[in-house]
A and B are shown apart, each in its own frame.
Chain A
Amino acid sequence: MAKTIIPIGPYHPLQEEAEFFQLHVEGEKVVGIDVSIGYNHRGIEKISESLTFDQVPYLVERVCGICSTSHPLAYVQAVEEIGGIQVPERALYLRTIIAEMERLHSHLLWAGLAGHFLGYNTVWMWAWKYREPVLDVLEAVTGNRQNYAFMKVGGIRRDFEKEDIFRIDQILDELKPKIDLLTGAVMDDPVLHARVKGVGILKPEDAYSFGAVGPTARASGIKIDVRRDEPYAAYDRVEWDVITDPAGDVFARVKVRLLELYESVKIIRQCLRDLPGGEISARVKEIPPGEGIGRVEAPRGECFHYVCSDGTNRPVRHKIRAPSYVNVPTCQVTVPGETISDATIILASVDPCYSCTERMQVVDKEKGTTLSGKDLVRLSQEKTALLIKGGHR
């Protein structure tokens, strides 16, 4: 059979960046995949060199909307390393709380999208409904639903009031049974098992060689987590577990993310309990010449920032490496060999900034047939429906 190339993307309404995948298919089977990115290149590193150290957090917050805590946090850690700045204890705890709240809403968001791809639109709607209270409380404590403007070199910008702590506590109480429900539904659903178990397997050695990070690596049984390996903020002062799963398939990635929700809740609770008083920000006079790095475990994996200072008030070099940059190429080994209807969920399972199913197009030059993104989602959803009919229930 002639080889057909299916372009996926670059535009799609569901997730972060515009990415362009080309699936090489023979019939239903995917035999190769190419990734082309760069639609979202805004020259952030260069713009950063024209801003002062205090202005950069505003910019890096806008690297990615969902990781709008992780990027500024990694950046301020890098600058604090250059200046040898001691951050007050209270600020460290509050940073941890906000970072974990971000993980909560990010993982819920992903769970919803994964549900949508598999034909469970109810999961999408419900997971995003559960996510709303988290955003509400973030708005209450930081002032904005996203882009919290919370991090600052030397500390944080806003202190928590007493009622904020109650509010967060209350939200966590309400969220827990909902996570239970979601996790229970995923673990027990036979159709879901049939659909994602054993699909898109990323072997540990492949995860190593691609340098995969975050939940993608942890779902392949690799126990890496910056929060544990190189603790920042208050992570070394709280008890929690690194969730791993040896299976490496899509199901494992779902499971790791859902179980991480519990760990986040655990971390936030401990931070609220042990929250010390005192200052929220250290006085920073000037940034001496030097280099510093900041590493943060973003919801998608390790986020790395390198900042170089020459003693002036702005960085001379600022390098950013986001987790998706290493996670997305793993599709080179996970997608080939699977069917087109599975490609969607496998690509989405690394939680890249991808979910462009709405703008996929299949172009077969010889036959002149066209398949739109909708058709691909339909294919994926029909497969689930078929499994339900096939008596797996």
Chain B
Amino acid sequence: MSITLKALQKSPWVFHLNTGACNNCDIEILNCLTPKFDLERFGVKLVGSIRHADCLLVTGPVTRKAAPRLKTLYEQAPRPCLVVACGTCAISGGIFKDGYNICGPVDKIVPVDAYIPGCPPKPEAYILGIVKLLEKLGQ
């Protein structure tokens, strides 16, 4: 296993991008970092720039204005970059799927490594998703 992957497993730094979500998924992501759930015990840290991140958490159905930004961010990310689609909207478009301003879902724009379903996913679901992703990386 390459050293980058091994390091990534110990401390995946995540960058979070809202592509038009209603905000619930985003708040639950933050909730994961607060004392009750404390995702930081797995080394997960929310970072301010995609250039520092190993993992891109995408929420929302990808609006027309957000789609080019999502693409740019993915291109700017250092490799390997794991993309996680969080919530129903990011996975399938959800209720907004037929909207005139929607380009999504996320996997139409960038390749996705993991899906965390739920509307919004509970913090427990996020933790499970991240842990599963890390386990898969180890194999």
Contact = CB atoms under 8 A, between A and B. Distances in A.
Interface residues on A, range: 35 or more
Given A42-B20, A43-B100, A129-B36, A14 B65 contact: no
Nearest to A105: B27
Contacts of B30: 13-14, 128
A126 to B, nearest CB: 8
B134 to A, nearest CB: 20
Contacts of A158: none
B120 A147 contact: yes
A46 B99 contact: yes
Secondary structure at the A interface, as helix, strand, loop or mixed, is loop
A109 B27 contact: yes
Contact of A125 (B16, B28, B35, B99): B35
B23 A46 contact: no
Interface string B120-134: 101000000000000
Contacts of A46: 99-100
B81 interface: no
A22 interface: no
Among B21, B22, B120, which residue has the most Cβ atoms of chain A within 10 A?
Answer: B22
A55 to B, nearest CB: 9
Interface of B: 15-18, 20-31, 34-36, 46-49, 60-61, 63-66, 69, 73, 94-96, 98-102, 119-120, 122
9 cross-chain pairs, A with B, having the tightest CB-CB distances, nearest first: A65-B24, A65-B23, A13-B16, A358-B48, A16-B23, A43-B99, A128-B34, A62-B22, A65-B22
Given A41-B63, A62-B95, 19 more contacts: A11-B69, A13-B48, A14-B30, A15-B23, A18-B20, A18-B66, A39-B20, A41-B20, A42-B20, A42-B99, A43-B96, A43-B100, A47-B99, A50-B98, A62-B24, A65-B22, A65-B120, A128-B30, A129-B36
